[in-house]
Chain A
Amino acid sequence: MIENKEKRSGNYIRAIGAVAWKDLAAELRSKELLSAMLVFALLVIFIFNFSLELDAKTRTSVTSGVLWATFAFAGTLGLNRSMAIEKDRGCLDGLLLAPVDRSAIYFGKAISNLAFMLIVEAVVLPVYSILYNTNLFQPGLLLVILLGSIGYTAVGTLLSAMSVQTRTRDVMLPILLFPIILPVIIAAVRASGGYLQNLPFDQILPWLNLLIVYDVIFTAIAFMVFDYVVEE
């Protein structure tokens, strides 16, 4: 019985790995999704840079908001495209036909979506640092970006699986996603702002805790309902 359980969990992890590997390998070839996300994210920070004439102090206070607005909008593009690739050629059915728990498909897609988001962030951060003359390479801030991205992709992957079934999927995802993801964005903006303004850790901690709690709750909910979301 224990052996059976181990075998099943081994299969489950292998399936998660297979889905994530497939997404990364396909994207490495096409660069369709990453290029769209990157161009969009860079355009957003350029527009903010030229439209907001800011002094050094104000720049520090708006940085977290500008950063998370950029990540959120670019992330939506990636989430939409990632699930559309599955739907347009019927590949989503191919995945759903596999004899694995369907939450493994969710986790595989969420991991690859997170990887794409982190790659975009890794490019955006140095560009932003140069343009706005702000040091963004602080361990605390990087942790907030990681936690915020996990929460964003956890909810986004689930909702993109839902919106891709609709005719207006490009419009539907942001409409569904942004109201639900708001607590994560607020917590991430506040925690990032705290690190950028060098606030004491006890003032940042509640926002960090909120991020962790939301990450756990959203991942658990997605794990439980993904099967129902993708089935007709």
Chain B
Amino acid sequence: MIKVHKLVKRFGLKTVLKGMDFSVDDGEFVALIGPNGAGKTTFLRILASLARPSMGSVNVAGFNLPKEAADVRRRLGVVSHQPLLYADLTATENLKFYGGMYNLPNLSTRIDEVLEMIGLTKRRNDLVRTYSRGMQQRLAIGRAVLHDPNVILFDEPYTGLDQDASAMLDDVLRTVAARGRTVVMTSHDLARTEDLATRFDVLSRGKIAASATKQDFGSGNLLTFYKNVLEEGKKQ
């Protein structure tokens, strides 16, 4: 579903991604973890066609970036730590607007389904500015899955959420992932990430430093795996 080969991204003289290789199969839930400044957000922005690669090839859902960006965007949903919602519109109006941008058929029915899934049906006619951070994040997920994308990118979706809101977001994320979608998520919340994802890639110094599944951890966990990878990186 996602194939990235020798990806390089430069901002002026600074190289953030240094020949990165990465691939994700259909229906996989991959967690991309790494220290601050490792290039996780930059990488997701390239996958989302919001930034151009400096070098290398990027293929999402069978389409090459940046050439076939519109085809990729049609099959892609993005949730970031910012809600990407208009505070002075209601939840329904926000979804109606984004649905219009995707030219979705039967939009009203689809909006009803999505609001039901994220548990915001009762608050659908309230302005988004009156929502809590957790509710805004759930609506952000609703916006991202409105057009039923094959691939969903989550960039630090737990940022700024309290424990209750995070637990509620877990449920929504599980529902979204359970529908056979391919998911790539970045997060610093390793406990939650370990619970949700099926594969874990560590991005460090502009490259994938290590990749593992839960089975590979043995008696350890994601935290020990992550620490080991970073320590080995420091030694090199």
Contact B101 A98 (CB under 8 A): yes
Cβ contact of A93, chosen from B50, B86, B88, B101, cutoff 8 A = B50
Q: What B residues does A11 contact at CB under 8 A?
A: 103
Contact B70 A100 (CB under 8 A): yes
A17 and B51 CA atoms in complex are apart in Å by 26
> Quick check: is A139 within 8 A (CB to CB) of the other chain?
no
A14 touches B97 (CB 8 A): no
Assess whether B50 is in contact with A232, with CB atoms less than 8 Å apart: yes
Instruction: Provide the bound-state CA to CA distance between A218 and B52, in Å.
Output: 26
Contact indicator A96/B89 (Cβ below 8 Å):
no
Asked whether A100 lies within 8 Å of B101 as measured between CB atoms, the reply is yes
Q: How far is the CB of B181 from chain A (nearest CB, A)?
A: 16
Least Cβ distance of B49 to chain A in Å? Answer: 8
Q: Which of A81-129 contact B (CB under 8 A)?
A: 85, 89-91, 93-101
B87 within 8 A of A: yes
Interface SS of chain A: helix
A97, B80: Cα distance in complex, Å? 12
**B contact residues, total (Cβ < 8 Å):** 30
> Is the pair B51, A231 in contact by a Cβ cutoff of 8 Å?
yes
Whether B156 sits at the interface, judged by CB under 8 Å, is no
Known: A89-B83, A91-B84, A99-B102. A18 touches B97 (CB 8 A): yes
- Encoded as 1 (CB less than 8 Å from any A CB) or 0, chain B from 31 to 51 comes to 000000000000001001111
Residue of A nearest to B66 (CB): A231
Instruction: Tell me whether A89 and B85 are in contact (CB under 8 A).
Output: yes
Q: Which residues of B contact A95 (CB under 8 A)?
A: 101
Question: From residue A167, how far is it (CB to closest CB) to chain B in Å?
Answer: 15
CB of A89 within 8 A of CB of B82, answer yes
| Contacts of A180-232 to chain B: CB distance below 8 A | 231-232
Q: Is the CB of B74 within 8 A of A90?
A: no
State whether the Cβ of A15 lies closer than 8 Å to any Cβ in chain B.
yes
Residue of A nearest to B42 (CB): A232
Which chain B residue has the least Cβ–Cβ distance from A105? B101
8 extra interface residue pairs, beta carbon distance < 8 Å, beyond A89-B82, A93-B50? A15-B101, A25-B88, A30-B88, A93-B80, A97-B73, A99-B73, A231-B52, A232-B45
> What are some 7 contacts across the A-B interface (CB < 8 A)?
A22-B93, A85-B86, A91-B85, A97-B48, A97-B76, A99-B71, A232-B45
